[in-house]
A and B are shown apart, each in its own frame.
Chain A
Amino acid sequence: MLGLTSAHKTWMHRLPVGPKLALLALFSVVLFWLDNLWPMLVALVLVAALVASGGAGFARQALRLLQPVWFFVALLAVWHLWLNDPLNGLRIALRLVVAVTAANLVTLTSRLSDMIDLIERLLGRKVALTLGLALRFVPVLGERAAMLSLAWRARSQKRAAWRLVPGLTVGAFDEADHMAEALRARGGLV
């Protein structure tokens, strides 16, 4: 999450985050309004052109980020072929790919701290801080899960899987307590 901003600098990096997000919102609303296939194809060409304008390295990165989407596209294709409604399937798949690509464009070309700043201006310091805390704790909880899994395997031949969940949950509450104390030690949310 921390490394999602693309290191391939593009002209889009220089645009401020606020207008980018506003454009994305507008673009997505219009995209879901469209019923006709042709304007949708125009939207697809538009985002493809934006991706291409960032250069080859940037485009490769944007394509890689689409990987999880292809699975859903395949699922949609099978489902709508089975329903004998391929046109509708194509429409939904197009929407999905175009919307996700557009959203990724914003993520790839914006610094995380700029995003958090924007959220702070729009929704206040508490919400922004919450987002920052969530990002801080994704790697921490991941590490804890890995440690618990190692501790399990050190004393068992079987894999741990779901049985680690209670320990992880208790651990998360524990982390929350420590975090509250750390915030308090430096003045809390004032």
Chain B
Amino acid sequence: MTGTGAVSHGIDLTGAEVSLLGKRLLGPVTLNISERRVGIIGRNGSGKSTLLRLIAGLVAPSAGQVRVDGIDPSGDRKGLIARLGILFQNPDHQIIFPIVEEELAFGLRQMGLGKVEALAQAKARLVAEGRGHWAGRPVSSLSQGQRQYLCLLAVLMMEPATLLLDEPFSGLDIPTARGLAAHLARLSQRLLVVTHDPLVAQAYDRVIWLEGGLVKGDGTPDAVLPAYLTAMEAADAGPDFGA
């Protein structure tokens, strides 16, 4: 079990849009998210990752408003990183430092801890996770699954109340994916998970289905998933690489 520092009241999007070079990637989207387990589903390019980046404040809305526990994610970075963490799809895009313990200590230092204290906490956490021997290892010597796990630890050490995960299971073998799923299930944090897997989404409190940057379905898994699966298997649903 991981304790969380802050309690999250929820995520609010009001007419939020993201445009890039005049092309609208997402929105307008209006959502209030306060459930503990939320799946975000949709086809490639439907705006799932953009929605996560918008909520994490990595992109600012080009119109509308985003609030995480009342905080503007792209404006108040310091306030946001104490409340919300994001796990990228590719761990190599996330890891900043060459040595495991430095990667873990970075987030803590960002939150104002001294270097010695941050490193001590990083080491203690690794020991607690049964991976004390990782501390001085180069990140490049870890496997894909181990790197994913390192990224998760690095984010969890900042004790956010909300965790955003972008397809956390892609690229992992079945036992590793199952281990990660079990680890995630034990977390007390609010989880927003982008996934292609209906089985993963089935266990969540709420599922949001995006299509073409807009919300196409929203509700319990039982209410949303059947329609989603029907649409995905429909005769006119061409592949993403189609004409």
- The answer to whether B58 and A179 have CB atoms under 8 Å apart is no
- The answer to whether B93 and A139 have CB atoms under 8 Å apart is no
| 15 A–B contacts, CB within 8 A, in A order | A2-B98, A2-B138, A139-B138, A178-B90, A178-B92, A178-B94, A179-B96, A181-B58, A182-B96, A184-B77, A185-B58, A186-B158, A187-B77, A187-B110, A190-B77
| Cα distance A113–B90 in the bound complex, in angstroms | 26
New contact pairs (11) apart from A179-B96, A190-B110, CB-CB < 8 Å: A2-B98, A2-B99, A117-B115, A136-B98, A140-B92, A140-B140, A178-B94, A184-B57, A185-B94, A186-B107, A187-B111
- In order of increasing CB-CB distance, the 8 nearest A-B pairs are A187-B110, A178-B93, A139-B140, A136-B98, A187-B81, A135-B98, A2-B138, A182-B94
User: Which residues of the other chain, A, contact B106 by a CB distance below 8 angstroms?
Assistant: 186
Contact residues of B between 58 and 92, Cβ < 8 Å to A: 58, 77-78, 81, 85-86, 88, 90, 92
Q: Which residue of B lies closest to A185 (CB)?
A: B86
Interface bracket on A: 20 to 34
Q: How far is the CB of A184 from chain B (nearest CB, A)?
A: 6
Judged by a CB distance under 8 angstroms, whether A45 is at the interface is: no
- The answer to whether A136 and B139 have CB atoms under 8 Å apart is yes
Contacts A113-B102, A186-B107, A186-B110 given; does A133 touch B138 at CB 8 Å: no
| Cα distance A185–B139 in the bound complex, in angstroms | 19
Q: Do most interface residues of chain A lie in helix, strand or loop, or is the interface mixed?
A: helix
| Cα distance A108–B206 in the bound complex, in angstroms | 56
Judged by a CB distance under 8 angstroms, whether B118 is at the interface is: no
Judged by a CB distance under 8 angstroms, whether B153 is at the interface is: no
Judged by a CB distance under 8 angstroms, whether A100 is at the interface is: no
Q: Which residue of A lies closest to B103 (CB)?
A: A136
Contacts A139-B140, A140-B92, A181-B93 given; does A188 touch B99 at CB 8 Å: no
Q: How far is the CB of A21 from chain B (nearest CB, A)?
A: 19
| Cα distance A182–B90 in the bound complex, in angstroms | 11
| Cα distance A190–B77 in the bound complex, in angstroms | 10
Interface centre among A117, A132, A136, A143 (most CB of B within 10 A): A136
| Cα distance A186–B56 in the bound complex, in angstroms | 10
User: Which residues of the other chain, B, contact A133 by a CB distance below 8 angstroms?
Assistant: 96
Q: Which residue of A lies closest to B158 (CB)?
A: A186
| Cα distance A113–B100 in the bound complex, in angstroms | 12
Q: Which of A113, A117, A178, A190 contacts B78 (CB 8 A)?
A: A190
Contact residues of A between 93 and 126, Cβ < 8 Å to B: 113, 117
User: Which residues of the other chain, A, contact B98 by a CB distance below 8 angstroms?
Assistant: 2, 132, 135-136, 139
User: Which residues of the other chain, B, contact A187 by a CB distance below 8 angstroms?
Assistant: 77-78, 81, 107, 110-111
| Cα distance A104–B158 in the bound complex, in angstroms | 38
Judged by a CB distance under 8 angstroms, whether A183 is at the interface is: yes
Q: How far is the CB of A179 from chain B (nearest CB, A)?
A: 7
- The answer to whether B95 and A136 have CB atoms under 8 Å apart is yes
Q: Which residue of B lies closest to A183 (CB)?
A: B96
- The answer to whether A182 and B95 have CB atoms under 8 Å apart is yes
Q: Which residue of B lies closest to A139 (CB)?
A: B140
User: Which residues of the other chain, B, contact A143 by a CB distance below 8 angstroms?
Assistant: 140
Q: Which residue of B lies closest to A138 (CB)?
A: B98
User: Which residues of the other chain, A, contact B56 by a CB distance below 8 angstroms?
Assistant: 185
Q: How far is the CB of B75 from chain A (nearest CB, A)?
A: 13
Q: Which of B77, B86, B88 contacts A188 (CB 8 A)?
A: B77
Q: Which of A113, A181, A182 contacts B99 (CB 8 A)?
A: A113
| Cα distance A2–B56 in the bound complex, in angstroms | 33
Q: Which residue of A lies closest to B164 (CB)?
A: A185
Q: How far is the CB of B97 from chain A (nearest CB, A)?
A: 6
Contact residues of A between 51 and 72, Cβ < 8 Å to B: none
| Cα distance A135–B96 in the bound complex, in angstroms | 10
